């Protein structure tokens, strides 16, 4: 149970961070956001996007949030486009420091939810494709999306045209070596066109940008302690003494963005990273 599982079909509770595994059976239970503001339609988990306010999704939400917060500290006072922004929480985080943020997503439900939920004077949402949305920017952000694209090189070229000669493009993607089951060439995610190793991802980014800084996202604090406990046999202990559900009912919602850490290559071993983050400049 080393790598967290995702939700691709019917959801079963298991002692992993997301507590979900894929099985091809019906019917499919629906996990939906709770505690939404009045007038804001909740979104349901599909396996394609990550959502706040769903306890079963908290590991993945915090994993994404950690990267958004890291980028937010680097775009203070800048014009930012958050491509494929999904539910909109990341655009809102970026707008806490940036001068202006545009969150872009093609999905009508996600766009409407984001527009209604996240309201700031320096934040707006546009419904469009990452391949076609165009506006001048100091920074473009594309997190956990490039693995979905048929022509990622063309999209990176488009982003470069938006930031000009002095801007920055932030791109993240999962590490296939830690996302896929041991020995498998890729994960079971049906929406992923291609999943990358660090060298492949860096090579892709260098095809468009002259400067590419590579970072890896790793477990820290509680998650690092839990990772070490798993290696010492924690899985056998909690199941034997009947604590599995009680422990993960507490542990999963308690995970915070600070339980992840970004580390720069080459000091960090990117083959062991959860996700890669490329900081790209022309």
The candidate with the shortest Cα–Cα distance to 47, out of 91, 1, 88, 9, is: 9
Question: Could you tell me the end-to-end alpha-carbon distance of the chain, in angstroms, rounded to an integer?
Answer: 41
Provide the CB-side half-sphere exposure for 256 (13 A, CA). 3
pLDDT digits (tens, 9 = 90+) for 106-134: 999 999 999 999 999 999 999 999 999 99
Please state, in angstroms and rounded to a whole number, the distance separating the CA atoms of residues 269 and 263.
9
pLDDT at res. 208: 98
Beta strands per DSSP E along 202-274: 211-219, 260-264
Q: How many CB atoms lie within 10 A of CB 104?
A: 25
pLDDT digits (tens, 9 = 90+) for 189-202: 888 999 999 999 99
Confidence of residue 29 (pLDDT cuts 50, 70, 90): low
pLDDT at res. 26: 43
Please state, in angstroms and rounded to a whole number, the distance separating the CA atoms of residues 99 and 81.
11
Spell out a b/e string for 187-216, using b for 16 or more CB atoms within 10 Å of the CB, else e.
Answer: bbbeebebbbebeebbebbeebbeebebbb
Q: Which H or E element spans position 126?
A: strand 123-126
Strand partners, 100: 79
Q: How far is CA 24 from CA 11, 84, 106, in A?
A: 10, 28, 28
When pLDDT is averaged across residues 251-272 and rounded to a whole number, the result is 96
pTM, rounded to two decimals: 0.90
When pLDDT is averaged across residues 262-270 and rounded to a whole number, the result is 97
Beta strands per DSSP E along 61-122: 79-83, 100-104
Confidence of residue 3 (pLDDT cuts 50, 70, 90): very low
Confidence of residue 4 (pLDDT cuts 50, 70, 90): very low
Report DSSP state, residue 260: E
pLDDT digits (tens, 9 = 90+) for 138-187: 999 999 999 999 999 999 999 999 999 999 999 999 999 999 888 889 98
For residues 193 and 153, the answer to whether their CB atoms sit within 8 Å is no
pLDDT at residue 15 above 60?
A: no
Q: How many CB atoms lie within 10 A of CB 38?
A: 5
pLDDT at res. 31: 85
Confidence of residue 24 (pLDDT cuts 50, 70, 90): very low
Please state, in angstroms and rounded to a whole number, the distance separating the CA atoms of residues 161 and 106.
20
């Amino acid at each position: 149970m080393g790598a967290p599982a995702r939700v691709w079909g019917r959801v079963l509770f298991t002692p992993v961070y997301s507590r979900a595994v894929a099985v091809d059976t019906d019917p499919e239970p629906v996990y939906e956001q709770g505690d939404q503001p009045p007038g804001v339609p909740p979104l349901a988990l599909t396996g394609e996007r990550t959502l706040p306010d769903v306890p079963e999704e908290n590991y993945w939400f915090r994993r994404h949030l950690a990267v958004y917060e890291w980028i937010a500290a680097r775009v203070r006072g800048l014009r930012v486009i958050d491509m494929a922004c999904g539910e909109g929480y990341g655009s809102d985080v970026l707008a806490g420091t940036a001068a202006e943020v545009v969150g872009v997503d093609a999905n009508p439900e996600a766009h409407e939810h984001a527009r209604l939920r996240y309201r700031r004077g320096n934040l707006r949402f546009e419904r469009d494709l990452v391949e076609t949305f165009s506006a001048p920017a100091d920074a473009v952000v594309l997190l956990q999306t490039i693995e979905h694209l048929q022509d990622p090189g063309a999209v990176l070229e488009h982003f470069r045209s938006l930031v000009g000669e002095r801007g920055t493009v932030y791109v993240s993607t999962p590490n296939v070596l830690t996302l896929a089951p041991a020995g498998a060439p890729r994960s079971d995610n049906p929406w992923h066109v291609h999943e990358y190793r660090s060298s492949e991802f860096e090579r892709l980014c260098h095809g468009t940008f002259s400067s590419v800084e590579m970072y890896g996202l790793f477990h820290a604090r509680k998650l690092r302690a839990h990772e070490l406990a798993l290696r010492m046999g924690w899985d056998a202990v909690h199941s034997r003494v009947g604590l599995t559900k009680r422990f993960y009912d507490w542990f999963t919602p308690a995970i915070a963005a600070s339980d992840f850490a970004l580390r720069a290559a080459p000091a960090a071993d990117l083959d062991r990273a959860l996700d890669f983050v490329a900081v790209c400049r022309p």
